Structure formats: structure tokens, C-alpha cells
Amino acid sequence: MASFDIVSKVDPQTLENAVNTAIKELQTRYDLRDTKGGMELNKKDNTILLSSENSMRVKALEDILLGRIVKQGIDGTALDFSAEEQASGQLIKKTIKVRAGVDKEAGRKITKAIKDAKVKVEVQMQDDQMRVSAKKIDDLQAAIAVLRSTDIGQPLQFVNMKS
């Protein structure tokens, strides 16, 4: 049976390059020149920490980061901006999580999208990825087309195609 895997991952080197470029832009921007805090990538936890004096500047840091990430070729939905800002002394901090892996909720959305399209494939959840298998490659390609047109909420890559 033919199959492929659905994964959601971000290249760590590209992410680091985007954050470093954003930090350089932060240092050269006139309106953010004497800002305390800044931007920091935590590779171990796969998070980015933004900190500044007020929430308006934290929002500006988010915009700079998102612009640099998109310019590096990373999908903007790979970042989870939903975390709340937290006051810590004189600074306001916000932790942005970089989405990696297909979580259960996204897996349900993927399965539902494929079943609603009535494509003859089998979908299985495997840890942080999904395996889609079918008898014909044409059915797999139809499943990929359905998923590309559906908004899952995170970037998806289709890898390991086997026939």
C-alpha cells in the first residue's frame, strides 16, 4: 500500500537565523533603540521570549519577529502567539511557543477534513506525526490537495511518500 507522513516541523537553523536577524533589526530601529529587554531563543524548550517595558513595544517585537520569520521561509502559523503577557518587575514578558509536531487537536482536524472529502485513505496518528495510506497514489494526492486547501492552524509538510 502507498503511504506518506504528515509532519509539522520548523528547521532549527532557519529559526535561529530569523531570530538573530530580528535581534539585529531591533538594535538598529530608532523607535526601539533604548528599549530594555529584547528577544531570546530557547532551543531546548523551542520557545522565543520577548520582553520590553510596555505591551506596545512587545507587540512591535512580535511584528518584527513575524516579519523576519516569514522572510526566512517559515510559515507564520508555526508560532503560537496565544500566551498572555506577564509582568516581571519593570519588564513585560511574553513567551512564544514554536509549534512542532501534529498535536491531537490538529490530528482530529486533519482526519475530519479527509473524511469529509470522502477520499479513500486510512489515517493513523503516530506520536507527533500522521500516516496516511491508500491503495492508489491518486487517492494520496487527493488527500494532500484537500489538506493544502484546509486551514489546520499550523504548517504541514508531507514527507516519506512510498508507493
Residue-level pLDDT at 29: 81
Q: What's the pLDDT at 70?
A: 93
Label residues 33-68 b or e (16+ Cβ within 10 Å = b).
eebebbbebeeeeebbebbbeeeebbebbbebbbeb
Instruction: Work out the pLDDT band at 159, boundaries 50, 70, 90.
Output: confident
pLDDT in tens, 105-156: 888 898 898 888 888 998 889 888 899 998 989 888 999 999 999 888 888 8
Say yes or no to pLDDT of 72 above 80: yes
